[in-house]
Structure 1
Amino acid sequence: MTSDVLTTATVATDRVLRALDRIAEVDRPEVWITLRDRAALLADAAAVDARIAAGDHLPLAGLVVAVKDNVDVAGLPTTAACPEFAYTPEVTAAGVARLVDAGAVVLGKTNLDQFATGLVGTRSPYGAVRCSWDPALVSGGSSSGSAVAVALGIADIGLGTDTAGSGRVPAALNGIVGIKATIGVIPTHGVVPACVDYDCLTVFAASLEVAATATAVMAGPEPRDPRSRPWPADVRLSTGSTVRVAVPRPEDLTALCPQYRTAFDAAVRDAQESGVRIATVDISALLDAATLLYDGAVVAERYAAVGEFLAVPRAGADPTVAAIVAAAKAPAAHELVADLDALVHARARARELLADVDALLLPTTTEHPTIAEVQADPVAINRRMGTYTNFCNLLDLCAVAVPARPTESGAPFGITVVAPAFADQIAVDVAAHLTGAPSPDFVGAGVELAVFGAHLRGQALHFQLEELGARFVETVHTSDAYRLVALNTTPPKPGLVRHGPGAGAPIVGEVFRVSEAGLGRFLAQLPAPMTLTSVELSDGRHVVGFGCTNDVVADATDITEHGGWVAYRQS
């Protein structure tokens, strides 16, 4: 008993100590640009432990975070992997601050492809970040250090950024989870811009549950980020009972190396065997749009971010990054306008592709090169690795990268679930289905709705809730103030009627969470004599729920004794 109390009382401190031991054990100095000192880490951990003892609700208590060094943490230098660019911010990035408020402890700042320009993890004067399981291979970039810190078991959460795939490619190469939410859902306040209109703050974790929890904590509008966005009123909160996924045509998969092609085919077969309905689609329009990020005028945003800084020779500038940024000055204004118009059409095509499915399933990247191969050909390999990631932010899509079945040689292989903007919960649910993981509650928006009859799962009208994207929350009982009657309607359904405390019996029902707009549509289509009203539950809560008008009760059959609609129907 005493031992359990001591362990609980020092959960954050114990986790920090294990992280420090692991850092020493793996001996990967290239992962870090700045590590916080032991005393500061233990002081922060003690503060978290004190908050736990005081009864604070801390969803991330006892977890440690590695932060990509283009994201501000007050008092720690932000270098973006360029020593001459370094500055020490006084304010922590909003996303990081939210993690800390939720009980996480920041370990330090991690290495990256300089100025978040690259998908390989080798473009840094602080050293190439080596793959977590084979040091001869690249780790993937640009969020290389954060991904490897998670894959090596040092950090529970790795913060990255993603403009072209940097929150997904390193996840695939290191066998972990990477979540890239819809642009603006996580504010980019305190993030050094790469392409400011397409940058995202992203999360790595060993499990989907931890990644989704951290992402949900960071989500929400931020006044200091004019590009941040709230969840819309019509946000979908769940897939239907059947998961529907699109996959590319064979001719859209030619960029894959042979091992990855075989592995992706196996992933699609595994999805089908798990009950997923598969549709093959033409994604050539998406692949064409992907080229606009570097080969089109949109790349001018990279020059706007750091072009003037790199125009002056810098000893710490990576030559490949400097060349990419310098070339980004060339596009003319009319070229940018033309490319933005092309993206509008590509977004429309993406909406068409995803209209009849829950998500698009893709290989995350094309291959896993060695560090030597990338150093010999730093541009072409990097470009190829972004084939299935570069278009995502340009087209305002969200994505969840998860491990799939390993390749024939036993190496990690990753797939990505891509969904429309704000369909983040759908992408997480599909990823959970494909990996066999629990499906975490990712989007906290919506209204709780209690149902007691034909809208219950398995009943005749439940499809109406599925069409609204409603998400099952829990099975509940009303207080004893209610009676249940069977109405003379088609299809058959019950009516819940309040009679007063003790005048009825607990009636079983189910609570779903539905978007605000969905609830409005539901109410607008509600037929007489049904109503939506406040329903008291057995635990004292009040939720929106089904009732019926009193004038129909006289002709109805009282079925309260059965305790619920399903039991009555079975009787």
Structure 2
Amino acid sequence: MSGALERVRAAYARIAQVDRPEVWIDLHPREEPEAEAAAVDARVAAGERLPLAGTVFAVKGNIDVAGLPTTAGCPSYAYRPEVDAPAVARLKAAGAVVLGTTNLDQFATGLVGTRSPYGAVRNAVDPAYVSGGSSSGSAVVVALGIADFALGTDTAGSGRVPAAFNGIVGLKPTRGLVPSEGVVPACASLDCVTVFARTLPEAERALSFIAAPSGRALPALEQRRPGPWRISVPDPRQLGELDEGWAEAYGAAAARLADAGAELLPVDLEPFTEAAAMLYEGAFVAERHAAVGAFVDAHAGAADLDPTVAGIVSRAGDLPAHRLYADLERLSVLRARALASLGDADALLLPTTPGHPTLAEVAADPLGANARLGRFTNSTNLFDLAAVAVPAGEVNGLPFGVMLIGPAFTDERLARIARLLTSPPLHLAVVGAHLSGQPLNGQLRARGGRLLRTTTTAPAYRLYALDTVPPKPGLVRSREGGAAIETEVWWLPAEGLGSLLAALPRPMALGSVELADGSLVPGFLCEPEALQGAREITAYGGWRAALAGGPSPHPSPREDTGAS
């Protein structure tokens, strides 16, 4: 990791290079972050532990940053906080340096990123398309490589839609896991502080510093029954109209989870989409009026009030109280149906949005385009669920994203499942003690391993019984006398394979194993010198057959914890 001062200078060089002023509301003058970064470097040099030293971040403009105005996307609303919001303060305390505050859909009301007097935030990949909102600027500064991570908020999907549109990760934690003090509310009972980053590990790391023990009572989560991850996937017809190519991209993401060993389960999506419509069409929007309605009504017609946002907030003040209670009762019924449909599934997989509109399309139909984008995201906070949005490829040259949604306080579980989508698929060929039912197989399963298939090697290998505990064979490629050896191919997350190899003792080594179909897969091989005096068992055609075919080939075992 570079030093803090070096990283700040690189960030400002990148700001000048991309020339995207609309992503910022207030950017610190360069000398201020440089001075702060120099102080961080000095503290690290003196021996202080600052885990986030050498990183820079940005903050959505409705979150307090001491020394900068909090505008919530409206200049006349601005106030100057004396202290940082807790989430900001915790990141700074760990050594991260704030660059500035970012643009947003005004008062965090929108999913498009265009409802701001500071300008419409353009997409990081194709500026003709929207960036997604309301945390538009925060997502784009991360996607453009300016910031290492950024803070946003999510009430209806604002921490996930911009992530999907810009090809990055968005974590929407369980409500209350991150303190919301110092945040201008949109709907205070639903708001969540969120994290954007280019990779899942970076996002998780940032979240780990801002999360705190929740003031909420931890629900009695049922013990997860053994078995593969269980992922709910709706019937494609319930997804409604999607942009061209999006149904296929979503299907590919679901197939990737299945290939990694997940069990795909049906789910009724109707209660989710019905509740999603209620967020703006029902009485819950009245909470937006409670947050900023007095200001909006008092400044009606002001030049810096976005007319679409002002109309939404002002109309919300006319909703009668009885409507809210009726909607709360209806929401309770829908939530019960939704959770019952999920059953014991670990997560629900959905496209983050149904499509990706252009700036022109949003300008032509600002309410309709925005409403469509919330079809899959709006219900998450209404149902008190956690979510993570991750990239899942491209469609027509633009990023495509999916999200995993699960019960409150399953944040870590969702991230583990998301790694199956974000980590490159790594396969491992095993022929001995790591085979299913063998003594070391648990090492694979404990690292998230999933059995993909059973096959054989190409007929070019010889197998020997090594003198170890537990018993295991050694596999070597041979120019003559080789045979096809029974082999299992396992899928492992990258970090799982890495930790397995880190503990791998000699004489085992990782190499390429040729399978019966001619493909090459990483697998455990044996150093030739370890075969001196070992009994050849190639004729058995595999380790399990050798174990069952005669007396133990290990009369004088020596202790060894290696793998095969």
* TM-score in terms of structure 1 length: 0.73
**Cα 1:138–1:239, aligned 2, differ >3 Å: closer, same or farther?**
farther
Query: Where does the alignment leave 5 or more consecutive residues of structure 2 unmatched?
Result: 426-436, 449-502, 504-556
Question: Does the CA-based 8 Å contact 2:271-2:335 persist in structure 1?
Answer: no
Q: CA deviation digits over 1:249-283, x for unaligned, max 9?
A: 12211132232122112222222222221112111
Q: Does 1:84 align with 2:70?
A: no
**Cα 1:204–1:437, aligned 2, differ >3 Å: closer, same or farther?**
farther
In 2: Cα distance, 1:376 partner to 1:47 partner: 49
Q: 1:162 maps to which residue?
A: 154
Q: 2:112 maps to which residue?
A: 120
Question: Does the CA-based 8 Å contact 2:350-2:404 persist in structure 1?
Answer: yes
Equivalences for residues 363-442 of structure 1 within 5 A: 363-407=351-395, 409-436=396-423
Tell me the SS of whatever aligns to 1:60: coil
Provide the aligned length of Structure 1 versus Structure 2: 442
Q: 2:9 maps to which residue?
A: 17
2:308 pairs with one of 304, 313, 320: 320
In 2: Cα distance, 1:371 partner to 1:457 partner: 55
Aligned residues with identical type, % of pairs = 55
Shift of 1:354: 2.8
Q: Does 1:31 align with 2:38?
A: no
* TM-score in terms of structure 2 length: 0.74
Question: Does the CA-based 8 Å contact 2:125-2:398 persist in structure 1?
Answer: no
In 2: Cα distance, 1:143 partner to 1:238 partner: 34
Question: Does the CA-based 8 Å contact 1:220-1:230 persist in structure 2?
Answer: no
In 2: Cα distance, 1:320 partner to 1:395 partner: 26
Shift of 1:206: 0.3
Tell me the SS of whatever aligns to 1:108: strand
Q: CA deviation digits over 1:518-567, x for unaligned, max 9?
A: xxxxxxxxxxxxxxxxxxxxxxxxxxxxxxxxxxxxxxxxxxx9879x99
2:37 pairs with one of 45, 54, 71: 45
In 2: Cα distance, 1:239 partner to 1:130 partner: 45
In 1: Cα distance, 2:408 partner to 2:116 partner: 32
Q: 2:274 maps to which residue?
A: 288
Shift of 1:351: 2.3
In 2: Cα distance, 1:457 partner to 1:96 partner: 45
- Paired residue type of 1:402: V
Question: Does the CA-based 8 Å contact 1:82-1:317 persist in structure 2?
Answer: yes
**Cα 1:205–1:459, aligned 2, differ >3 Å: closer, same or farther?**
closer
Question: Does the CA-based 8 Å contact 1:255-1:387 persist in structure 2?
Answer: no
Question: Does the CA-based 8 Å contact 1:374-1:381 persist in structure 2?
Answer: yes
In 1: Cα distance, 2:442 partner to 2:351 partner: 37
**Cα 1:131–1:97, aligned 2, differ >3 Å: closer, same or farther?**
same
In 2: Cα distance, 1:234 partner to 1:426 partner: 16
Q: CA deviation digits over 1:201-234, x for unaligned, max 9?
A: 000000000101111110014xxxxxx5368386
- Paired residue type of 2:265: A
Shift of 1:295: 0.6
Q: 1:544 maps to which residue?
A: none
Query: Where does the alignment leave 5 or more consecutive residues of structure 1 unmatched?
Result: 1-7, 222-227, 439-453, 467-508, 510-560
Q: 2:245 maps to which residue?
A: 259
Q: 1:362 maps to which residue?
A: 350
Question: Does the CA-based 8 Å contact 1:220-1:231 persist in structure 2?
Answer: no
Tell me the SS of whatever aligns to 2:398: coil
Tell me the SS of whatever aligns to 2:233: strand
Question: Does the CA-based 8 Å contact 1:255-1:384 persist in structure 2?
Answer: no
1:331 pairs with one of 319, 322, 326: 319
In 2: Cα distance, 1:288 partner to 1:418 partner: 16
**Cα 1:433–1:378, aligned 2, differ >3 Å: closer, same or farther?**
same
In 2: Cα distance, 1:410 partner to 1:32 partner: 26
In 1: Cα distance, 2:87 partner to 2:10 partner: 25
Question: Does the CA-based 8 Å contact 1:405-1:413 persist in structure 2?
Answer: yes
- Paired residue type of 2:48: D
After the TM superposition, which of the residue ranges 41-50 and 78-87 deviates more from structure 2?
41-50
Q: 1:490 maps to which residue?
A: none
1:68 pairs with one of 60, 65, 86: 60
Q: 1:246 maps to which residue?
A: 232
In 1: Cα distance, 2:226 partner to 2:45 partner: 41
Q: Does 1:190 align with 2:170?
A: no
Shift of 1:130: 0.4
Q: Which has the larger radius of gyration?
A: 2
Q: CA deviation digits over 1:136-158, x for unaligned, max 9?
A: 11000000000000000000011
In 2: Cα distance, 1:240 partner to 1:186 partner: 30
In 1: Cα distance, 2:271 partner to 2:219 partner: 29
In 2: Cα distance, 1:86 partner to 1:13 partner: 30
In 2: Cα distance, 1:334 partner to 1:296 partner: 12
**Cα 1:253–1:334, aligned 2, differ >3 Å: closer, same or farther?**
same
Q: CA deviation digits over 1:260-315, x for unaligned, max 9?
A: 12211222222222222111211101111111110111111000000110002222
In 1: Cα distance, 2:185 partner to 2:424 partner: 34
Shift of 1:317: 0.2
Question: Does the CA-based 8 Å contact 1:236-1:423 persist in structure 2?
Answer: no
In 1: Cα distance, 2:317 partner to 2:243 partner: 33
In 2: Cα distance, 1:122 partner to 1:311 partner: 22
Q: 2:207 maps to which residue?
A: 215
Tell me the SS of whatever aligns to 2:31: helix
Tell me the SS of whatever aligns to 2:266: strand
Q: 1:148 maps to which residue?
A: 140
1:343 pairs with one of 314, 324, 331: 331
Q: Over aligned residues, Cα RMSD in angstroms?
A: 2.7
Q: 1:483 maps to which residue?
A: none
In 1: Cα distance, 2:65 partner to 2:224 partner: 35
- Paired residue type of 1:214: A
Shift of 1:54: 2.7
